Amino acid sequence: MNNVALQDLQRQVQNNCNISDAQFGGAYSLCGLLLRLRDLYKWESGLQPWQEPEPADLLEWVDARERHWEAIAHNSLQPLRIGDKSYDPFDSATINSLLRPYGLIYGAGYAAAMKPSFFLAELVDSRTAGELHIDMVDRELARDLFVAPAMRQGDQIFARRTAMLFTLWDLIMEMRPSIREAIIFALLQYDLDARKIRSHPKELGTQLYRVAEFELNTWIHHEIGEAREDVFEGFIWHEIVSTYADSPIELFARVIKDLLADTHSEGLLGHIIDNRIKSSLGFYISFMRPFTKVMFPQAAQAFKKFQLQQDWEIIDEARHQAYRNAQKNALALIELHTAGRTKGTEWARQRILADLIEPLGIMQDMEEDD
């Protein structure tokens, strides 16, 4: 693929990214949107995560981006034209069969609130885990507001180094009091001081490259666990999140599925426990969202005990408990949703909220957890 063809493909993918952002930017809280816009600006400007832009430049860019979104908000996602043929923008398998020989990888899928998400990046490594194919990418040529270090589509897993680096930096810079201890613990395993990194980002930020690369290889096991878990059979989970998109029920379903993946014996926590990876345990606790903490309270309790006793059986027992609880909630969710096929979607919505979500007492946290 010559430079002209590559630049044209990059433009096409970025156009769809921008259309998606224009249509779904409102799905994020104001704070969440501003953080994503800041990171998007850094990426577009070629800045490292720890390089902060001039406030005036960022504000000017945000204003221009919002005006651009207004102009394209009603546009439809466009097919990607490669050579003399056009392809559905979600047909990543076919598109990648064309791009892989050129060292490129294309990702397409749906994020929370069923937001379309795309990226185009340079391939740096490929490997397999059973029937799963894992592609590691580095420099990204096109991307949208939503960024996840790893994502899965069927038997394909995409792992994004740049996304992992940004995700780690944002975690360290935010470092809320509730997760400070876990972050400090995780970085100490690399002989790094979280406080020094925060106070001297220009001098110490580059030390996070090796952290991001190692942790991404652990993070992949969330996707492996997701592929292995069999509680949500067939397409039932996709049916649930699309039926109740952009609602507490969608978030509830996503958290349950994530917990089933993380606590599966071949999932993220299973891998961390089997390989005794202390840094990844600390980061797992650090990255837990408010709703996930409510659904998996054993995690924080077990982590505190582990710091004192260094006994991995404590973490494994918490993993087993969380898996059983997630399995119970998943089966209850499936039962109510399935009953809604005859009793009506609104009936199912009200029952799921009343029976499964409201008793948790976290509706406000769910609304803020984007």
| pLDDT tens for the chain, residues 1 to 370 | 888 899 999 999 999 999 999 999 988 888 889 999 999 999 999 999 999 999 999 999 999 999 999 999 999 999 999 999 999 999 999 999 999 999 999 999 998 888 999 999 999 999 999 999 999 999 999 999 999 999 998 899 999 999 999 999 999 998 889 999 999 999 999 999 999 999 999 889 999 999 999 999 999 999 999 999 999 988 999 999 999 998 999 999 999 999 999 999 999 999 999 999 999 999 999 999 989 999 999 999 999 999 999 999 999 999 999 999 999 999 999 999 999 999 999 999 999 999 999 999 876 555 544 4
* 305 contact partners, CB below 8 Å, separation of at least 6: 311, 314
* 19 contact partners, CB below 8 Å, separation of at least 6: 72, 73, 75, 76, 77, 78
DSSP letter, residue 277: -
In the prediction, which pLDDT does 29 show? 86
In the prediction, which pLDDT does 364 show? 58
In the prediction, which pLDDT does 142 show? 98
Cα 310 to Cα 276: distance, rounded to the nearest angstrom:
10
Provide long-range contacts, Cβ within 8 A and 24+ apart, for 175-178.
none
- Inter-residue contact 29 to 370 (CB < 8 Å): yes
Please list the residues that pair with 123 across neighbouring strands.
137
For the chain, the distance separating the N- and C-terminal CA atoms, rounded to the nearest angstrom, is: 38
In the prediction, which pLDDT does 365 show? 54
Query: For residue 158, which of 149, 166, 167 has the smallest C-alpha distance?
Result: 149
Phi-psi region of 120 (alpha: psi -120 to 50; beta: other; left: phi over 0): beta
Q: What burial letters (b/e) apply to 173-203, b meaning 16+ CB within 10 Å? A: eebeeebebbbbbbbebeebebeebbeebee
What's the pTM?
0.91
Cα 62 to Cα 41: distance, rounded to the nearest angstrom:
8
To the nearest 10°, report the CA torsion of 280, 146, 319, 313: 0
- Inter-residue contact 27 to 112 (CB < 8 Å): yes
CB-count exposure of residue 131 (10 Å: 0-12, 13-18, 19+):
exposed
Bridge-based pairing state of the strands 132-143 and 156-160: parallel
Q: Which helix (H) or strand (E) holds 184?
A: helix 177-188
* 188 contact partners, CB below 8 Å, separation of at least 6: none
In the prediction, which pLDDT does 143 show? 97
To the nearest 10°, report the CA torsion of 39, 159, 117, 35: -20
Q: Which helix (H) or strand (E) holds 309?
A: helix 298-309
Q: What burial letters (b/e) apply to 38-66, b meaning 16+ CB within 10 Å? A: bbbbbbeeeebbbeeeeeeebeebbeebe
| Tokens (6 digits) for 358 | 């409201």
CA distances to 172, 220, 270, 327, 329 from 260, in Å: 26, 15, 11, 7, 10
Residue type at 266 in one-letter notation: E
